[in-house]
Chains A and B, each alone.
Chain A
């Protein structure tokens, strides 16, 4: 559930502050002023919305096919992105298969933090894998993401040994991995992958703060500094010094 204060017209359809015992927990959100709002499907202003919608694989195909000519001319296609697509592996498999059968280029974005058998299942219907490697230091990885990086690196090695093209990305986070040593270690790890088409460094920005607020979740990076362009260029050079084609964004 997401509530955006600036869109609310105060019509009362979400009964702010009213007894919400009858509501399902996933229909409730606490707004910034502490009022509990109940999603009842009638917020016409779009202030209180359910994020996401249920779609079938056929729905995705129907939407994607509308842009088929654009994919053909740009050599583009459809990327299944996150959340994490391996949490809906049956849907991902079905959707990717449908797209593939219809001649549409397929890609996934993943954090690789899932059992290999899930990837094994969908790899035959993927034309490009885009995945994150955030940090080679396991302890730091555990601290910042809440999980160790063993599975991720093991999966990366497996995918890096295949022929399916891959693109590796690192979100550059101040205090976590915004140092040349951290990036150099990642670049040294991925340079062995023959199927790597590029490595991309994504500068941290605080633009997600409002979204956290509207979801009623504390935003812990509020005071984090913006990454300077010079820092990104330095990190790009560091990665390139390992012989890895590197982009910054």
Chain B
């Protein structure tokens, strides 16, 4: 790449510096695409190491991989000591992620592609390379039978208490580790030794980066950039040991922690960012050492370094709105960056109207899927129903694709564990048609419910298995450092270190099941347009021929979930959702040490889940995708009325504090209406009043997305919200791009 000589005396506005950083980000993204191809996950901001960089994992197991405390710490130390360090003179912050260690443990090969290839075969099992010493063959037949995404061996999907880390700093964490090691004597030696080594590895990584800052400072001819590097060096020399004192130090400390946990095992959960940064900003402001423009730039660099999920605004523990000047500065920062971003505004009764309106305005202005919005009312009521006080419920913030977490307090398996409800239905259907001489709707429901319970039981057994042995597979050495309990108890978060174990089990394919029951009720039972056996024959031959197509359309044109309030489709959807929730909650009796919480979410695996299910009585052909999350299937209603869809999703909320998100694709043309902002605000407010929990929203031009699908390289900065996460469209795999295109087309052509 050609380098451009910067005149020595050139000065750089924050905007100009950010443009340079974004150019670099786009170049890195293109390099990733060229070298690795498209991806099936979000763009976290990871860079790629030079092509000639080689690093091999250090196995501690006969299978060639590494496991447990010793295996992980050794590899983490080695990787952090070897991988490139990243410093950019335009940036306020130093550091960058190059690798995800959890994706590299597949074999002794240094090439992470092999591990990726293994992982990508199983929906949601991005890094499920499990320690073979702990066998779960007894569960695998059930995983196959019900197409269960079991989550066994998966990475951290909960939030750390970042405030704790900020207050302690790395040396403070070390002192805490030493103190508790002494308290526990020799009992927990391995845990403490590995945690201490983890902290020291991170400190060593920061020190190597400081050396690189120094090197660049020595050779930087431009005065402005040299001054920035000098300041960057001072910031890092402090935060390598001490707790941050200024906003920039706080952003830099957060950046290191975020990069460390991302490198370790891809953890992407941030925190309540406005409240985390507010004390530092206010202190800087009182001391007259910061401007708002500088603060916004520092925060923008934090957002740029890694697309973690952060919440802003929302109620504090007493219900008082937390919106502050820093909340607005974070939106300023997101505007300045203008790239993939995962900010969520929590909508509650006391929310500052200005931040709410601004959030919607930015959604329209940039059309990049941020911010998202979460609904406090239903989340709090649900979590109270799950057995927690309102104060804790308000602390449970949006920090993941579809999920909330209590920072530092809970271990959750959020968004990792899913049951394909459509597959459960098809098992029940096949069983009834092969066993019963007198098929009926009641019989089908009874079999569905029974199989669903088995699927949930076995999923919960898998959760328990994971929690018994995950520490021997993939301990949470980084996130343990900023959580309440692990250091104090000397126990990993996955193995008793956490305060609460709220285990998420999500159902996927609700609309397929609800529409199937509704179609059978209407066409077979009531109208007698076809018999159970005719329907079965058509399903088995995938609606072949004109007759098959006639039957398919007869079924598909029956009443559907989302079409109308309290129609057949919705009644079945509510019934299925309630049955699923009942079965999930019943696991609390089998495993009283955990609190199982139901949700409805497919992540972006609608295609893979669909590939596991043959033709279904809702007129869906074999192996076609299932519905997204809790959304109705495309074409659910001729006018695809958003209000009807929202009413339907509100009706099926499982109601225990986890979400059934609304995935909304809007035509950006609505922005032309002078009332657009107010109307969308009203829509959001109403959906949360009605009981919805989370809104993931896209405003994408249909023609543009089709053009971008043909040639993604022409649209390098097109950002889309895939599910809960945003990503550059160009860096998604063709499969994921198709997913987005299909959703937009179904929006435009129903």
Which positions in A face B, CB cutoff 8 Å?
A: 9-11, 13, 44-46, 63, 66-67, 69-70, 72-76, 247, 249
Interface residue B211 (Cβ < 8 Å from any Cβ of A): no
Interface residue B643 (Cβ < 8 Å from any Cβ of A): yes
The answer on a CB contact under 8 Å between B679 and A69 is no
On chain A, the residues within 8 Å of B565 by CB distance are: 66
Between A and B, 7 residue pairs with Cβ closer than 8 Å are A9-B549, A9-B550, A66-B565, A67-B643, A70-B683, A73-B685, A74-B686
The answer on a CB contact under 8 Å between A11 and B686 is no
On chain A, the residues within 8 Å of B550 by CB distance are: 9, 11, 13, 44-45
Interface residue B554 (Cβ < 8 Å from any Cβ of A): yes
Q: How far is the CA of A67 from the CA of B679 in the complex (A)?
A: 14
The answer on a CB contact under 8 Å between A66 and B647 is yes
Interface residue B674 (Cβ < 8 Å from any Cβ of A): yes
On chain A, the residues within 8 Å of B682 by CB distance are: 70, 73-76
Q: How far is the CA of A10 from the CA of B549 in the complex (A)?
A: 10
Which positions in B face A, CB cutoff 8 Å?
A: 546, 549-550, 553-554, 557, 564-565, 643-644, 646-647, 672-674, 678-679, 682-683, 685-686, 689-690
Closest 3 CB pairs of A and B: A74-B682, A44-B553, A73-B682
Partner of B546 from the list A10, A46, A69 (CB cut-off 8 Å) is A10
Further contacts, 13 of them, CB under 8 A, given A9-B546, A76-B679, A247-B674? A9-B550, A9-B553, A44-B553, A45-B553, A46-B557, A66-B565, A69-B686, A69-B689, A69-B690, A70-B686, A73-B682, A73-B686, A74-B686
Q: How far is the CA of A46 from the CA of B678 in the complex (A)?
A: 36
Q: Most chain-B Cβ atoms within 10 A of its Cβ — which of A10, A13, A44? A: A44
Q: Which residue of B lies closest to A12 (CB)?
A: B546
Q: How far is the CA of A218 from the CA of B566 in the complex (A)?
A: 41
A197 to nearest B CB, angstroms? 11
On chain B, the residues within 8 Å of A247 by CB distance are: 674
B76 to nearest A CB, angstroms? 50
A203 to nearest B CB, angstroms? 11
The answer on a CB contact under 8 Å between A74 and B678 is yes
The answer on a CB contact under 8 Å between B557 and A74 is no
On chain A, the residues within 8 Å of B679 by CB distance are: 74, 76
Known: A63-B564, A69-B689, A69-B690. A74 touches B683 (CB 8 A): yes
Q: Main secondary structure on chain B at its contact with chain A?
A: helix
Q: Which residue of A lies closest to B638 (CB)?
A: A46
Q: How far is the CA of A247 from the CA of B553 in the complex (A)?
A: 42
On chain B, the residues within 8 Å of A249 by CB distance are: 672-673
On chain B, the residues within 8 Å of A75 by CB distance are: 682
Partner of A44 from the list B554, B643, B674 (CB cut-off 8 Å) is B554
B683 to nearest A CB, angstroms? 7
Known: A9-B553, A11-B549, A74-B679. A67 touches B689 (CB 8 A): no
A198 to nearest B CB, angstroms? 8
Q: Which residue of B lies closest to A45 (CB)?
A: B553
Q: Which residue of B lies closest to A46 (CB)?
A: B557
A59 to nearest B CB, angstroms? 11
On chain B, the residues within 8 Å of A45 by CB distance are: 549-550, 553
Q: How far is the CA of A11 from the CA of B554 in the complex (A)?
A: 12
A220 to nearest B CB, angstroms? 26
The answer on a CB contact under 8 Å between A70 and B643 is yes
On chain A, the residues within 8 Å of B672 by CB distance are: 249
The answer on a CB contact under 8 Å between B647 and A67 is yes
Q: How far is the CA of A69 from the CA of B673 in the complex (A)?
A: 21
On chain B, the residues within 8 Å of A69 by CB distance are: 686, 689-690
A89 to nearest B CB, angstroms? 25
B67 to nearest A CB, angstroms? 52
Q: How far is the CA of A13 from the CA of B689 in the complex (A)?
A: 46
Q: Which residue of B lies closest to A69 (CB)?
A: B686
Q: How far is the CA of A17 from the CA of B366 in the complex (A)?
A: 54
Q: Which residue of A lies closest to B546 (CB)?
A: A11
The answer on a CB contact under 8 Å between A46 and B553 is yes
On chain A, the residues within 8 Å of B674 by CB distance are: 247
A51 to nearest B CB, angstroms? 11
Q: Which residue of B lies closest to A9 (CB)?
A: B549
Q: How far is the CA of A11 from the CA of B679 in the complex (A)?
A: 44
Q: How far is the CA of A45 from the CA of B224 in the complex (A)?
A: 68
B340 to nearest A CB, angstroms? 30
Q: How far is the CA of A38 from the CA of B674 in the complex (A)?
A: 45
B353 to nearest A CB, angstroms? 13
Q: How far is the CA of A227 from the CA of B643 in the complex (A)?
A: 32
A140 to nearest B CB, angstroms? 29
B251 to nearest A CB, angstroms? 37
